[in-house]
């Protein structure tokens, strides 16, 4: 009976080390945000490892976002994936981080944050839309 328990314990430990090893070989890195507007932002991240079934970005207005909050699957090559986050609120600070799923395990990358532009701002940073800019006038003569 002791031998059976010992054998079972060794089998469980070996299996647990194999499972944790496969998860520990997955690397997820949140790289940076790109263009940020009043209502959208793009983000870049990388993933590496095996048995990854899904990856993307999750975001929230509170730190430590998880995939059960807002999330979007990424596109691109594993070394540089991208996500376009839409339907954001203007002038709001967001926290985001990349994630990867391996089986039922979710591995998160580092967290970064950004603030969306003011309402009606242009991506070039001007708070006034181009249609509202005042034309310059010149006097002839």
Q: What is the pLDDT of residues 95-141, one digit of tens each?
A: 999 999 999 999 999 999 999 999 875 555 444 444 333 334 444 44
| Residue 15 scores a pLDDT above 70 | no
Prediction pTM value: 0.69
Give the H or E element holding residue 111. strand 105-115
Domain containing residue 54? 30-121
What CATH number should be reported for the domain holding residue 68? 2.60.40.10
Structural domain includes residue 117 = yes
* Cα→Cα distances 111→55, 58, 90, 94, Å: 15, 10, 21, 10
Identify the pLDDT of residue 2: 58
92 phi, psi to nearest 5 deg: -125, 140
Structural domain includes residue 65 = yes
| Number of domains the chain contains | 1
Identify the pLDDT of residue 128: 41
């Amino acid at each position: 009976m002791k031998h059976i328990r010992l054998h079972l314990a060794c089998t469980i430990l070996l299996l647990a080390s194999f499972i944790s090893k496969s998860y520990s070989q997955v690397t997820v890195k949140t790289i940076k945000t790109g263009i940020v507007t009043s209502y959208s932002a793009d983000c870049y991240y990388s993933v590496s490892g095996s048995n990854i079934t899904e990856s993307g970005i999750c975001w929230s207005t509170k730190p430590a976002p998880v995939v059960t909050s807002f999330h979007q699957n990424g596109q691109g090559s594993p070394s540089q994936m991208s996500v376009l986050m839409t339907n954001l609120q203007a002038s709001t600070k967001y926290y985001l981080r990349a994630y990867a799923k391996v089986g039922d395990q979710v591995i998160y990358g580092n967290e970064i944050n950004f603030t969306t532009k003011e309402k009606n701002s242009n991506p070039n940073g001007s708070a006034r839309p181009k249609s509202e800019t005042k034309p310059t006038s010149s006097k002839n003569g």
